[in-house]
Amino acid sequence: MDKEIVGAVAGIAGTVGGAGISALFQWRAQRDADKKQQRAAIDAAISQMLGYTIQYPSLESLKFCKDYPSCTDDTEKERYEAYCCFVFNTLVKIWAYCDGNSEKVSGVFHVAEIARLHHRWWEHDQENFGYSREFRQFINGVIDDLKKEGKLK
């Protein structure tokens, strides 16, 4: 009788253990697939940003960015605001993809360059409170570092 119980328990343990290992492998495979899909979406957004800047060079023009929000052309200003929203939405996706690790984020995208050009929009935008506190701290930290380095005034 004891051998039957031990055999049954061993069989159940083997089945549960096998199912657990299988579930772990499936979870890992799904997580890897999700990461690849996230990266593909990020790469597509970056390509789209580049397309916008080719079509509308003023979006990345240092003079135009410095003049914001005192732009004289309302259409250009609205286009720039929409572009900046797109850029920072892309950055928040990259930040999430990198689990908030600033070194990894900088490895995927040139955050300091974006912050240097578009910090005035970020600082004037009332809607950036829609981003998480952690992401806002990350961007504000990049901007503060640029100011300390004398790259922003």
Residue 2 three-state SS: helix
pLDDT tens-digit series, residues 91-144: 999 999 999 999 999 999 999 999 999 999 999 987 777 899 999 999 999 999
pLDDT at 129: 79
pLDDT at 35: 87
Helix ranges restricted to H, 56-124: 62-67, 74-97, 102-108, 111-124
pLDDT tens-digit series, residues 38-85: 999 999 999 999 999 999 999 999 999 999 999 889 999 999 999 999
Q: Where are the domains of the chain?
A: 38-148
pLDDT at 37: 93
pLDDT at 117: 95
Tell me the pLDDT of the chain averaged across its residues: 88
Question: Torsion-angle region of residue 99: left (phi > 0), alpha (psi -120 to 50) or beta?
Answer: left
Q: How far apart are CA 97 and CA 103, in angstroms?
A: 12
